[in-house]
Amino acid sequence: MTAAVHPDRLLPADPAARRVARDLYGTVAAAPIFSPHGHVDAALLAADEPFTDAASLLVTPDHYVTRVLHSVGVGLAELGLGPDGATADPRAVWRRFAEHWQAFLGTPTRLWLEAELTDILGVRTPLTPETADAVFDEVGARLAEPEFRPRALFRRFGIETLATTDDPAADLAAHRALAADPAFDGAVLPTFRPDGYLDPALPGFAAAVERLGAAAGLGTSGYDGYLDALRSRRQHFVDHGATAADHGPPDPGSAPLPPSDAARLYQRALTGGLDERDAAAFRRSMLFEMARMSTEDGLVMQLHPGVLRNHHRPTYRAFGPDTGHDVPLTTTYAAHLRPLLEAFGTDPRFRLVLFTVDETAFSRDIAPLAGFYPSVYIGSPWWFLDAPEAMLRWRAATVETAGFYKSAGFVDDTRAFCSIPARHDLARRVDAAYLARLVVEHRVAEDDAARVLHDLVTTLPRRVFARS
Amino acid sequence: MTAAVHPDRLLPADPAARRVARDLYGTVAAAPIFSPHGHVDAALLAADEPFTDAASLLVTPDHYVTRVLHSVGVGLAELGLGPDGATADPRAVWRRFAEHWQAFLGTPTRLWLEAELTDILGVRTPLTPETADAVFDEVGARLAEPEFRPRALFRRFGIETLATTDDPAADLAAHRALAADPAFDGAVLPTFRPDGYLDPALPGFAAAVERLGAAAGLGTSGYDGYLDALRSRRQHFVDHGATAADHGPPDPGSAPLPPSDAARLYQRALTGGLDERDAAAFRRSMLFEMARMSTEDGLVMQLHPGVLRNHHRPTYRAFGPDTGHDVPLTTTYAAHLRPLLEAFGTDPRFRLVLFTVDETAFSRDIAPLAGFYPSVYIGSPWWFLDAPEAMLRWRAATVETAGFYKSAGFVDDTRAFCSIPARHDLARRVDAAYLARLVVEHRVAEDDAARVLHDLVTTLPRRVFARS
Amino acid sequence: MTAAVHPDRLLPADPAARRVARDLYGTVAAAPIFSPHGHVDAALLAADEPFTDAASLLVTPDHYVTRVLHSVGVGLAELGLGPDGATADPRAVWRRFAEHWQAFLGTPTRLWLEAELTDILGVRTPLTPETADAVFDEVGARLAEPEFRPRALFRRFGIETLATTDDPAADLAAHRALAADPAFDGAVLPTFRPDGYLDPALPGFAAAVERLGAAAGLGTSGYDGYLDALRSRRQHFVDHGATAADHGPPDPGSAPLPPSDAARLYQRALTGGLDERDAAAFRRSMLFEMARMSTEDGLVMQLHPGVLRNHHRPTYRAFGPDTGHDVPLTTTYAAHLRPLLEAFGTDPRFRLVLFTVDETAFSRDIAPLAGFYPSVYIGSPWWFLDAPEAMLRWRAATVETAGFYKSAGFVDDTRAFCSIPARHDLARRVDAAYLARLVVEHRVAEDDAARVLHDLVTTLPRRVFARS
């Protein structure tokens, strides 16, 4: 048995704390999974085609994995990425991965992959450079079985609700098909992700806006038309079950422009005539408008700001986005969000979940905001911070100010379908470990801790991410 | 017995570390309380009126409590705040509080309140929504007894020195009365808090300055008169036993202006003619002047910068300041304080205690400055950071650079009178826990740890906060 | 026996974790020391003169020590610094130090010094104000023995490779002498440290450049000549065994200027005509040029940015630099390093080790960059952060994103020769403690942990700091 699948993994070393943590974890280990933010494609479940092999299931599409391999010297094309990657032999990709398996020691990616290989795929052979082929073959055989198709796994994972991330112009056909399919009883909900339609600094803004107008069937010839088209597409998402809109701007600025100024900048943005400063002003004003629309249509606003995307542009040009070189930026929230929160922060129809990859904001900005505004919830540690040590830091930095009941529940944010249960399991273990320490240090009573853990896993996500 | 009052609460889980921590804590558990910074009103002790009920003792006046309740959806007026709150029934307020008691799990406020209810008020019934009325009645009965009046509690709490926070124009009559009262033998000292008199960006600056001149009996018609009035009021505070001046500017900038520039800005400030930039320049220059006056009159400079006050202005307008929506700002100290420290940092007459609510400054700015300048001391974790996990992070982030002997001793900073002993007790437990770990990891000898803890609780606060 | 020399010091309190940590530590405790960055003078080993006394060995030359003493009120001249210090009696210095020995409790400096006194110098008397003289005499006697001369200690410390820090204009005679000396078989390598030659904002830039040209025998009359002189001096260092260039700019900006602009700024810099902004632009462009040269000559780029040097200029004027008042600055890396990394970040000839004293950059900037770019390695915690708690925070903040295999190995960065083995020992203990916790929490298998620790101590430093 490898380390990662020990039944007590991630529980505290101290024997008394471990006993408490084990009991706490046991109460939620099998709870259904509520996944309010992720990047799995609904078409995967609609089509329900079998996965083909270990490399294209676990390595090539997961930038958490390819990034680490790249960092130790493996080229992205060797891993199946980019135009040259299309011809890469999956077995060769898997061998490269196995060769550098030790590079993942200490990372959550290794823990997830070990759990996936062992718990989901039933592989008992520990992965080493020598066993790479055997493991590849074993996984391949397993994936050919019907119970390893996407829908069967969806059921086995115990997923109650899965939110995807979708383009505002998307038709959402796969979501519609799944909802209409009597053979599929899971909830797969779209999420409205309009970044590319709100930020004139992003490439292709004008074309995006045109697509939006076409999708809305309204046109977007003026600023009001543009707002109407956004409103219409949000409604389309609501009609398909969406409960949230997701926003990932470079900063959480939210100062609204006077409508006439916004209209003027909008027109200039369409012809590419905005400088950096004006583009940012327009983008921030649009975040304010999105908050306003959220109060109207009830879509929960998820805010994930502060990432410098595609840091290495040569790699971006060769391999596209999401190839492992997005880097967090220093991010502050208090002043940036003031306009938005002064306008909507105490509105009972509004809900805002704040995420960050700059963890200095946990205790300084996010917990104090969530500790006052009834609309504001603390998003779980995300991306680089979706990891045991970072999760413990996050709890320690936010609970003392805002309590447990202003956190929003775990978000897996993954495009690696099979990592969903492994990620939720890890989060549950870490929360059990955190609470167990509070119990043995006589800071929280054990029955209170059990109630909190249940609420973190079940009650809070259902409540926070429901459309208001 | 509830969790919070376990005799070993907050001590480490590891049995060996707990034994050491228990022994260490035992040596300081009953030590007198030195409280060099807080917001209790001296009039409370001068008048010595009985407290009336649990809600107006523990809920309504404490923005640590009302903030959390607001964050889970309770309106501030329901809690007795604002003009509409005046008519709120204390029992109804208490019920609302009890209903949301679980929102406080994991926060220090819950630990303090549990200790207050149990240790001070002798309530044995655990608080739940169902027991709210019983607890309210039990507390009410207790508060009617003579040994629960403010002065009796002051004695029972073992308070050696209590510093209040006072307006520079204040007459300090209550302090005078207490000092003159042979029946009261505690030390209740005023603290000079001149923010509103130094920052032209704050509302009412001109009126404040006029009040100052009137109080000083000097007038403040020119910049020199203004400085004289400040000097005179500081002396008034010194004459009433003050040992410190307390400063809470938005940033710790301290660049002095040439006197003629300062005089010019001063005149324009009185007519409201300063823009943001000039107002900040004047405010920073005045921090420098305050440091200069501290070297002259010996008042210890306490510096608590970096808070965006009244984030939600609609709430501010309806309910006033200190209603739970002050939010920390990114704060750096090294460059900001350079002018002040180059001028006074090695002056033996000067003492500066640096606080922060941006904990990134602990290891980056504050510990390195305190680890060189003999005048600089590290203020204890304050406000949002006055909590077990934050305290442990603070020690871990500062001791390795500056040792234990450049920390200033615990500051409760509270307006909740009954939380004073609970807050000091919590800090002592956390320091015992921190030291115990160093002992069992053979990093500090046990007798050294005991000496350090004694000095942290007793020697250092007395020395650091004494007028130089 | 004092606390610091307990065989289990710094290992975790939990008994199971301690057993694992002790086993892990045992496997690397005696491994040779690879020291790729430090400030010991090669002449110390070339001359091999005996050390004279405890104060001039352990106190006066170590700003980690004098800084703390200064912070508790001891003047630097009393400690033997500055022109007045030259006449200070070493025994009196030592007494002042012993008097304030408790100020060091909880600092790594105390742990290092205890290990030096006990393990290296064989002192069994615990240091107290009362035993100061006895310890001083005991150390003095020891230092007179031949086995306490620098070269004998170098062998006894098990130093495999020691890199010094050297001026680009330096002749490197001591390095040459050591390499040519058949009686000395250690590797003592120079490191190219060109800050003073790249930053026109530093005093004496023009003179430095002239020195550089003279040393290169090339002259530096134009920008191209200046670049040639730099290239030539780098080659001189390569010829003397250097494997690295070390850079300590105020920020890690790296935007290259067009050559004609750089040439123009260079000419103006020589006559002192650059304002702050232009000086920074030139300095940043030169960091880019240094990276380019590193790809050509293989010198590993070590980058230690973000320090405000000589914070208290009166002390600087009286006592010179490196006197304990350098203070960290807020430092970000992602945007600053983008130009450099886009150009050279995936070049197999380039290697960049990133250090910081602003620990907010660990998880936000440095680990994500090292987790993608094959050229980028994570420098060990440096200066104020070279301490047990900070090291644990560093591992916890970087490993989850970048694994263990993108860290660069421990760097002692010391000018205190005898602290070298104590510092490396401390780092090995802390890594063993970190890994042991992962083992007992079933996050890493024990045999994997042992392999990782061996690689951290031996394989990685040899590989990362070798000239590419």
Distance (Å, whole) CA A443 – CA B110: 9
Residue B49 DSSP code: P
C229 band by pLDDT with thresholds 50, 70 and 90:
very high
When CB atoms are compared, the residue of A335, A342, A364 closest to B358 is A364
Neighbours of chain A (3+ CB pairs under 8 A): B, C
Distance (Å, whole) CA B453 – CA B433: 10
Residue A345 DSSP code: T
Helices B90-99 and B132-143, packing angle to 10 deg:
130
Compute the mean pLDDT over every residue in chain B, rounded to the nearest whole number.
Answer: 96
Q: Please state the φ and ψ torsions of residue A291, each to the nearest 5 degrees.
A: -65, -40
B4 band by pLDDT with thresholds 50, 70 and 90:
low
| SS3 call for A81 | coil
Q: What angle do CA C57, C61, C67 make, to 5 degrees?
A: 120
- Residues ≥6 apart with Cβ < 8 Å to A310: A316, A321, A323, A325, A326
Q: What is the pLDDT of residue A1?
A: 42
Residue B55 DSSP code: I
Residues lower than pLDDT 70 in chain A: 1-4, 220
Distance (Å, whole) CA A148 – CA A146: 5
Cα dihedral C341/C346/C350/C353 (nearest 10): 60
- Find, in chain C, the residue whose alpha carbon is nearest to that of B341: C312
Q: Provide mean pLDDT across the span B111-115.
A: 96
Which alpha helices (DSSP H) does B14-131 contain, by range?
A: 15-28, 42-47, 54, 63-71, 82-85, 90-99, 108-115
**Which residues of chain C does A6 touch, with a Cβ-Cβ cutoff of 8 Å?**
442
In single-letter form, the type of residue at position B186 comes to: G
Q: What is the pLDDT of residue C3?
A: 45
Contact C101, C117 (CB under 8 A): no
Strand partners, B300: B244
- Please indicate whether residue C19 or residue C185 has the higher confidence score (pLDDT): C19
Residue C219 predicted with pLDDT over 80: no
Q: How far is B163 from chain A (nearest CA, A)?
A: 25
Residue B3 predicted with pLDDT over 70: no
Interchain contact, C107 vs B403, CB within 8 Å: yes
Distance (Å, whole) CA C219 – CA A214: 67
- Residues ≥6 apart with Cβ < 8 Å to C413: C37, C38, C39, C382, C383, C386
Q: What is the pLDDT of residue C5?
A: 82
Contact A254, A301 (CB under 8 A): no
Sheet holding A187-189, edge to edge: A33-35, A159-163, A187-189
- Residues ≥6 apart with Cβ < 8 Å to B21: B11, B12, B429, B432, B433, B435, B436
Paired sense of beta strands C352-354 and A187-189, if any: unpaired
Residue B2 predicted with pLDDT over 70: no
Which alpha helices (DSSP H) does B72-193 contain, by range?
A: 82-85, 90-99, 108-115, 132-143, 150-156, 173-180
Other CB atoms within 10 A of residue C430 CB: 25
Tokens 């259904």 belong to which residue?
A32
**Which residues of chain A does C454 touch, with a Cβ-Cβ cutoff of 8 Å?**
none
Distance (Å, whole) CA C223 – CA C263: 5
Interchain contact, C346 vs A3, CB within 8 Å: no
Interchain contact, C103 vs B405, CB within 8 Å: yes
Distance (Å, whole) CA A137 – CA A125: 11
Distance (Å, whole) CA C245 – CA C238: 10
Interchain contact, B372 vs C312, CB within 8 Å: yes
Distance (Å, whole) CA C237 – CA B213: 68
When CB atoms are compared, the residue of B368, B405, B452 closest to C72 is B405
- Find, in chain C, the residue whose alpha carbon is nearest to that of A14: C14
Interchain contact, C369 vs A327, CB within 8 Å: yes
When CB atoms are compared, the residue of C16, C402, C452 closest to A71 is C402
Q: Provide mean pLDDT across the span C215-229.
A: 89
Give the gyration radius of chain A's Cα atoms: 22
Tokens of A289: 């408008």
B86 band by pLDDT with thresholds 50, 70 and 90:
confident
Distance (Å, whole) CA C376 – CA B362: 28
| SS3 call for A74 | coil
Residue B280 predicted with pLDDT over 50: yes
Chains A, C: CB contacts under 8 A, how many? 145
**Which residues of chain C does A3 touch, with a Cβ-Cβ cutoff of 8 Å?**
439, 442-445, 448
Q: What is the pLDDT of residue A3?
A: 45
Q: What is the pLDDT of residue B85?
A: 85
Q: How far is C11 from chain B (nearest CA, A)?
A: 6
- Residues ≥6 apart with Cβ < 8 Å to A454: A27, A28, A31
Give the gyration radius of chain B's Cα atoms: 22
- The answer, for C108 touching chain B at a CB cutoff of 8 Å, is yes
Nearest alpha carbon to residue B162 among B193, B185, B130: B185
- Please indicate whether residue A71 or residue B272 has the higher confidence score (pLDDT): A71
B 386-445 residues with CB below 8 A of C?
Answer: 396-397, 399-406, 437-445
| SS3 call for B87 | coil
Selected for mutation to probe chain B from A24, A352, A359, A372 (highest B CB count within 10 Å) is A372
When CB atoms are compared, the residue of C15, C106, C384 closest to B368 is C384
Q: Give the tens place of pLDDT for each residue, A219-231.
A: 767 999 999 999 9
> What's the Cα-to-Cα distance from A135 to each of A127, A152, A266, C447, rounded to whole Å?
7, 22, 54, 21
B 359-388 residues with CB below 8 A of A?
Answer: 359-360, 384-385, 387-388
Residue C1 predicted with pLDDT over 50: no
Contact B201, B276 (CB under 8 A): yes
Residue B1 predicted with pLDDT over 70: no
A 126-185 residues with CB below 8 A of C?
Answer: none
Residue C46 predicted with pLDDT over 80: yes
Contact B162, B188 (CB under 8 A): yes
When CB atoms are compared, the residue of A334, A370, A439 closest to B311 is A334
- Find, in chain A, the residue whose alpha carbon is nearest to that of B2: A445
Interchain contact, B8 vs A448, CB within 8 Å: no
A 311-340 residues with CB below 8 A of B?
Answer: 332, 334-335, 338
Structural domains of chain A ordered from first start: 52-148 (1.10.2020.10), 151-464 (3.20.20.140)
C126 band by pLDDT with thresholds 50, 70 and 90:
very high
Interchain contact, A311 vs C338, CB within 8 Å: yes
In our burial notation (b when 16+ CB lie closer than 10 A, e otherwise), range B345-365 reads bbbeebbbbbbbbbbbbbbbb
Tokens of A277: 């400063």
In single-letter form, the type of residue at position C442 comes to: H
**Which residues of chain B does A338 touch, with a Cβ-Cβ cutoff of 8 Å?**
308, 311
Which alpha helices (DSSP H) does B271-418 contain, by range?
A: 276-297, 313-319, 334-344, 360-361, 367-370, 388-402
**Which residues of chain B does A442 touch, with a Cβ-Cβ cutoff of 8 Å?**
3-4, 6, 8-10
Q: Please state the φ and ψ torsions of residue C289, each to the nearest 5 degrees.
A: -60, -40
- Please state whether B256 falls in left (phi above 0), alpha (psi between -120 and 50) or beta: beta
Selected for mutation to probe chain B from C325, C329, C425 (highest B CB count within 10 Å) is C325
Q: How far is C426 from chain A (nearest CA, A)?
A: 21
| SS3 call for A244 | strand
Nearest alpha carbon to residue A295 among A250, A341, A335, A332: A341
Contact C81, C60 (CB under 8 A): yes
- Residues ≥6 apart with Cβ < 8 Å to B464: B36, B300, B351, B353, B377, B408, B409
- Single pTM value for the model: 0.97
Q: Provide mean pLDDT across the span B270-290.
A: 96
Sheet holding B33-35, edge to edge: B33-35, B159-163, B187-189
Interchain contact, A445 vs B313, CB within 8 Å: no
Interchain contact, B106 vs A360, CB within 8 Å: no
| SS3 call for A188 | strand
Distance (Å, whole) CA B411 – CA B180: 26
Interchain contact, A342 vs B312, CB within 8 Å: yes
Q: What is the pLDDT of residue B5?
A: 82
Tokens 């020590």 belong to which residue?
C65
B378 band by pLDDT with thresholds 50, 70 and 90:
very high
Q: Give the tens place of pLDDT for each residue, C143-158.
A: 999 999 999 999 999 9
Distance (Å, whole) CA A336 – CA A346: 17
Per-residue three-class SS string for chain C: CCHHHCCCCCCCCCHHHHHHHHHHHHHHCCCCEEECCCCCCHHHHHHCCCCCCHHHHHHCCCHHHHHHHHHCCCCCHHHCCHHHHCCCCHHHHHHHHHHCHHHHCCCHHHHHHHHHHHHHCCCCCCCCCCCHHHHHHHHHHHHCCHHHCHHHHHHHCCEEEEECCECCCCCCHHHHHHHHCCCCCCEEECCECCHHHHCCCCCCHHHHHHHHHHHHCCCCCCHHHHHHHHHHHHHHHHHCCCCEEEECCCCCCCCCCCHHHHHHHHHHHHCCCCCHHHHHHHHHHHHHHHHHHHHHHCCEEEECCCEECCCCHHHHHHHCCCCCCCEECCCCCHHHHHHHHHHHCCCCCCCEEECCCCCHHHHHHHHHHHCCCCCEEECCCCHHHCCHHHHHHHHHHHHHHHCCCCECCCCCCCCCCCHHHHHHHHHHHHHHHHHHHHHHCCCCCHHHHHHHHHHHHHHHHHHHCCCC
Q: Provide mean pLDDT across the span C158-165.
A: 97
**Which residues of chain A does B327 touch, with a Cβ-Cβ cutoff of 8 Å?**
334, 365, 368-369, 372
Residue C297 predicted with pLDDT over 60: yes
| SS3 call for A320 | coil
Residue B263 predicted with pLDDT over 70: yes
Q: How far is A443 from chain B (nearest CA, A)?
A: 6
Interchain contact, C67 vs B371, CB within 8 Å: yes
Q: How far is C38 from chain A (nearest CA, A)?
A: 27
